[in-house]
Amino acid sequence: MTTVSEAAAAAQTAADRKNALDAKLRELRTQENALGSRISSVIASAFPNDPDAAALSALEAQRDDTRTQIERFESAEQHLDTDCAVAAEVLKDAERAERQAAHAAVINRARAVASKYSGAVAAFISARADMRAIASSLPGVEAAVIQLAEDVVTFALYQTPANAAYGQPFAELVESYLAKAEVA
Please answer whether residues 38 and 59 qualify as being in contact, where contact means their C-beta atoms are separated by less than 8 angstroms: yes
Angle among Cα 150, 154, 155 to the nearest 5 degrees reads 115
CA 124 to chain centre: 39
pLDDT of residue 74: 94
Is it the case that residue 59 has pLDDT exceeding 90? Answer: yes
Q: pLDDT tens-digit profile of 135-165?
A: 888 878 888 888 888 887 777 776 655 566 6
pLDDT of residue 10: 94
Please answer whether residues 80 and 21 qualify as being in contact, where contact means their C-beta atoms are separated by less than 8 angstroms: yes
Is it the case that residue 32 has pLDDT exceeding 90? Answer: yes
Q: pLDDT tens-digit profile of 100-144?
A: 999 989 898 889 888 888 888 788 888 888 888 888 888 788 888
Q: Quick one: residue 2, left, alpha or beta (phi over 0 = left, psi -120 to 50 = alpha)?
A: beta
Whole-number average pLDDT of the chain: 87
Is it the case that residue 64 has pLDDT exceeding 90? Answer: yes
Domains of the chain are 4-114 (1.10.287), 136-183 (no CATH)
The sign of the dihedral angle between the CA atoms of 158, 163, 169, 172 is negative
How long, in residues, is the chain? 184
pLDDT of residue 85: 95
Q: Quick one: residue 16, left, alpha or beta (phi over 0 = left, psi -120 to 50 = alpha)?
A: alpha
Give the mean model confidence (pLDDT) for residues 22-40: 95
Q: State the pLDDT confidence band at 169, using cuts at 50, 70 and 90.
A: confident
pLDDT of residue 164: 64
Residue 148, amino acid: L
Please answer whether residues 7 and 87 qualify as being in contact, where contact means their C-beta atoms are separated by less than 8 angstroms: yes
